[in-house]
Amino acid sequence: MTLACRIHAAKDLRLDEVADAALGDHEVEMRLGAGGICGSDLHYFGHGRVGAFVLREPLIPGHEASGIVLRTGSAVTRVKPGDKVAVNPSHACGQCDYCLGGRFNLCRKMFFLGSASVFPHAQGLFRERFVLGQAQLTPVHEDISLGELACAEPLSIGLHAVHRAGVLTGKTVLVTGGGTIGSMCVIAARLAGAAQVIVCDIADRPLTIAQQVGADRVIRSDQIEAASLADIADIAIEAAGSPAALATCLSATRRGGRIVQVGTLPAEGVQFPANSIMARELDYVGAFRAAHAFDWAVQYLRTRRVDVRPLLSAQLPLSRAAEAFALAADRSRSTKVQLVCD
């Protein structure tokens, strides 16, 4: 048996003993290195759902993780006991039309860890030990902490969002939301050659972190006139999951520009001024999970091309999961809170 953090329903987080998974020939057993609490984990805990994905059974959350290899199956060649690994939470089928077209993140049979998108649910990584196929693991031998390595998944989200934005060289990019994903979008925009990156948020701490990872300008969007944000960006990335932030993107993006929706908006939908898209010839595109970008993220981390350490706020043991979730939900005190083994 192994200790796991499970969400049974909204506001019902428990520490449970769960059965150890069997180890197949191509599989690897790992000890949790670090597991980041994501906005989607907080939504499952707070509301029992993330968008259209609704809890129908207890769910072990967690999809941002690193691990230490404990045992390997007889056919495993990719890793060995003692290796630290980055864990890719996406397991695409590799056979559907989307996979064959190279859009693995849109796989018709996607099994994404820590998600209620399928039933039975895809149990996640907030547990002492877990077993995964070797294809989802990338061994890393460089001198990088397990906490940093666990940031490969959220960094991949930022990289994919920027990839969906198109060419950024020399352009001004607005990011709404200075949390983890917004900050990862800032890092990715810098890598892509943006001339200026602006971040809007309604709290001071996220803006401070955004500056530390590369934002040129930060704005408290709740303390200025909306008109002052009009036409300030060529590209806008909505990373807050807020209808108000989307409205900011629509007014801030110049004619002929592009808006990338990466935040999860309310499940009940939003009022949408679609005529603005038409009259100003704006492109409005979505960015869902990460496709090929996970491997890019690991490479950026292991070579120190990017530094995610300003985002890391705290690490708490699994036994204090409730405290960790409360801290992660408090944007005035934290950006990225991670769970580790006791």
Tell me the mean pLDDT in the region 12-25.
94
Q: Would the pLDDT of 273 be above 90?
A: no
pLDDT tens per residue across span 36-45 = 999 999 999 9
Q: Are residues 131 and 187 in the same domain?
A: no
Whether 303 maps to a domain, the answer reads: no
Q: Are residues 130 and 89 in the same domain?
A: yes
Q: Are residues 41 and 134 in the same domain?
A: yes
Q: Are residues 202 and 174 in the same domain?
A: yes
CATH number of domain containing 262: 3.40.50.720
pLDDT at 184: 98
Query: How far, in Å, are 129, 136, 139 from residue 144 at the CA level?
Result: 21, 19, 12
Q: Would the pLDDT of 117 be above 90?
A: yes
Q: Are residues 147 and 168 in the same domain?
A: no
Q: Are residues 211 and 238 in the same domain?
A: yes
**Domain count across the chain:** 2
Whether 297 maps to a domain, the answer reads: no
pTM of the model: 0.95
Q: Are residues 181 and 113 in the same domain?
A: no
pLDDT tens per residue across span 122-162 = 999 999 999 999 999 999 999 999 999 999 999 999 999 99
Per-residue three-class SS string for the chain: CEEEEEEEECCEEEEEEECCCCCCCCEEEEEEEEEECCHHHHHHHHHCEECCEECCCCECCCCEEEEEEEEECCCCCCCCCCCEEEECCEECCCCCHHHHCCCHHHCCCCEECCECCCCCCECCCCECEEEEEHHHEEEECCCCCHHHHCCHHHHHHHHHHHHHHCCCCCCEEEEECCCHHHHHHHHHHHHCCCCEEEEEECCHHHHHHHHHCCCCEEEECCCCCHHHHCCCEEEEEECCCCHHHHHHHHHHEEEEEEEEECCCCCCCCCCCCHHHHHHCCCEEEECCCCCCHHHHHHHHHHCCCCCCHHHEEEEEEHHHHHHHHHHHHCCCCCCEEEEECC
Query: How far, in Å, are 2, 107, 133, 290 from residue 110 at the CA level?
Result: 26, 5, 15, 12
Q: Are residues 205 and 257 in the same domain?
A: yes
Tell me the mean pLDDT in the region 25-33.
97
Whether 302 maps to a domain, the answer reads: no
Q: Which residues, other chains included, contact 45 with Cβ-Cβ below 8 Å and sequence gap of 6+?
A: 7, 10, 11, 13, 61, 325
pLDDT tens per residue across span 223-233 = 988 888 999 99
Whether 292 maps to a domain, the answer reads: no
Whether 299 maps to a domain, the answer reads: no
Q: Are residues 241 and 144 in the same domain?
A: no
Q: Are residues 254 and 132 in the same domain?
A: no
pLDDT tens per residue across span 198-256 = 999 999 999 999 999 999 999 999 998 888 899 999 999 999 999 999 999 999 999 99
Q: Would the pLDDT of 110 be above 80?
A: yes
pLDDT tens per residue across span 274-333 = 899 999 999 999 999 998 899 999 999 999 999 999 999 999 999 999 999 999 999 999
CATH number of domain containing 103: 3.90.180.10
Q: Would the pLDDT of 267 be above 80?
A: no
Q: Which domain holds residue 216?
A: 162-286
